[in-house]
């Protein structure tokens, strides 16, 4: 049975595999044993501390098959995207270049380096065994983090953000990087992506151009990549838009991948999540019902599974003994449940401020 739980040190070899096989490689999930080990320690600290407001915590989860003792995926919440170091993005802006004398008026799009997203809580570092791509396990891995945030709101920011890997061409090169970053770093996108994961990011501030970029001066390929996700992440982006995230004006500074954000109260999972007392019933006695994410209420032993949203007439959530055991809950204890299926997405650009 598949379950989401906090990472433990025993998961290190599996995490290394997941980091190596992430497509593309992720800055927040460096394929480097020492860095991953630090992240596990850090995550355990976060789960086991009393925290009143978001700071430099990372909460790292794994998707595990408990019977087969196999780790199939991982995902992280960074309580504050830019807690220790600033979180860098490019913000899309419009400038008006006008001359009355010449009777011209031009709107010019620019990208300006920004730290504005630093306060947001970031959902990041998701990697899944490809066998499970497109299954409910993938949705569980992606969205169980929202079930966790819903339970411990004081630990996170009101604004949640997700940065999707940006567009890479068939040669695995980033057209945006080739037109922008390359001039300042003289390294390939893949190398920089790696360095940003294993070393401190202060080099970004030191070497990235400080002045806004004028889009007409970039290559057409680079312009076309702005706000465009990596082909392997189309479904993931669609799911988060269906969840209620909207595209922000911000894009990644290396590959121009889209950054989506939302006030957490607006997300489907937050709006539809409800507490129910548990009633344990034999598997065969459970009525058919839509699938739901179901989470227990124990911070350091957080568990979240997919099971049927089977409610008794008085609002008890009926769980099989196996499901109750996975969640570590007894009859009468409350669990948080939210439907797994989302209404279809509207892909809108948020006009508000980030
Ligand atoms: N695709 C990347 N690796 N981007 C570099 C890191 C940028 C990221 N927004 C940060 O400040 O951490």
- Give the model confidence (pLDDT) of 7-35 as tens digits: 999 999 999 999 999 999 999 999 999 99
* pTM of the entire predicted model: 0.95
Nearest partner of 72 among 10, 157, 130, 152, judged by Cα: 130
DSSP codes, 219-276: -HHHHHHTT-B-GGGHHHHHHHHHHT-EEEEEE-TTT--EEEEEEGGGSHHHHH-EEE
What CA–CA distance (Å, rounded) separates 294 from 148? 11
In the prediction, which pLDDT does 353 show? Answer: 55
Q: How many whole angstroms from 89 Cα to the centroid of ligand 1?
A: 7
Of 27, 28, 114, the residue with max ligand 1 atoms within 8 A of its CB, to mutate for a pocket test, comes to 27
Distance (Å, whole) CA 278 – CA 312: 10
Residue in 253, 255, 261 to alter for ligand 1 test, most ligand atoms within 8 A of Cβ: 253
CA 126 to ligand 1 center in whole angstroms: 15
User: Quick count: other Cβ atoms within 10 Å of Cβ 272?
Assistant: 12
Alpha-carbon distance values, 198 to 11, 201, 308 (Å): 19, 9, 41
Q: Is 252 in the pocket of ligand 1 (CB under 6 A)?
A: yes
- Asked if the interface predicted TM-score (ipTM) of this complex is over 0.85, the answer is yes
- Cβ of 253 less than 6 Å from ligand 1: yes
Strand partners, 111: 92, 213
List, by residue number, the catalytic residues. Answer: 230
What is the tens place of the pLDDT at every residue in 42-80? Answer: 999 999 999 999 999 999 999 999 888 899 999 999 999
Does the Cβ of 89 fall within 6 Å of ligand 1?
yes
Q: Ligand 1: which atom is nearest the Cα of residue 163?
A: 9
Look at residue 264 and tell me whether its pLDDT is greater than 90.
yes
pLDDT exceeds cutoff 90 at 108: yes
Residue 351: pLDDT over 90: no
pLDDT tens for 87-102 read 999 999 999 999 989 9
Q: Residue 209's pLDDT band (boundaries 50, 70, 90)?
A: confident
Which pLDDT tens digit goes with each residue over 153-181?
999 999 999 999 999 999 999 999 999 99
Q: Report residue 113's pLDDT band, with 50, 70 and 90 as the boundaries.
A: very high
Is the shortest distance between the CB of 27 and ligand 1 below 6 Å? yes
């Amino acid at each position: 049975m598949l379950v989401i739980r906090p990472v433990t040190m025993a998961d290190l070899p599996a995490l290394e595999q997941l980091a190596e096989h992430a497509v593309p490689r992720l800055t927040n999930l460096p394929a480097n044993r020492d860095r991953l080990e630090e992240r596990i320690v850090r995550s355990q600290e976060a789960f086991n501390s009393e925290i009143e407001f978001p700071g430099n915590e990372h909460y790292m989860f794994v998707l595990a098959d408990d019977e087969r003792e196999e780790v199939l995926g991982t995902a992280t919440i960074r309580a504050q995207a830019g807690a220790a170091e600033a979180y860098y993005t490019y913000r899309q802006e419009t400038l008006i270049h006008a001359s009355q004398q010449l009777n011209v008026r031009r709107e010019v799009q620019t990208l300006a380096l920004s730290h504005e997203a630093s306060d947001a809580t970031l959902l990041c570092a998701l990697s899944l065994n490809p066998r499970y791509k497109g299954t409910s396990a993938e949705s569980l891995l992606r969205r169980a983090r929202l079930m966790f945030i819903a339970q411990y709101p004081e630990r996170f920011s009101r604004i949640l953000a997700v940065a999707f890997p940006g567009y890479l061409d068939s040669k695995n090169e980033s057209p945006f990087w080739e037109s922008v970053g390359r001039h300042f770093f003289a390294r390939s996108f893949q190398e920089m992506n790696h360095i940003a994961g294993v070393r401190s990011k202060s080099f970004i501030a030191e070497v990235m151009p400080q002045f806004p970029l004028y889009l007409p001066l970039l290559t057409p390929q680079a312009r076309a990549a702005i706000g465009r996700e990596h082909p392997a992440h189309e479904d993931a982006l669609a799911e988060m838009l269906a969840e209620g995230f909207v595209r922000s004006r911000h894009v990644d500074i290396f590959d121009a991948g889209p950054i989506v954000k939302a006030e957490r109260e607006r997300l489907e999972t937050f709006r539809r999540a409800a507490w129910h007392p548990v009633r344990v019933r034999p598997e065969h006695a459970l009525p058919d019902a839509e699938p739901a994410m179901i989470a227990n209420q124990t911070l350091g032993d957080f568990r979240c599974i997919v099971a049927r949203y089977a409610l008794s007439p008085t609002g008890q959530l009926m769980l099989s003994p196996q499901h109750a055991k996975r969640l570590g809950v007894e009859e009468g204890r409350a669990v948080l449940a939210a439907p797994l299926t989302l209404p279809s997405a509207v892909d809108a650009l948020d006009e508000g401020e980030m």
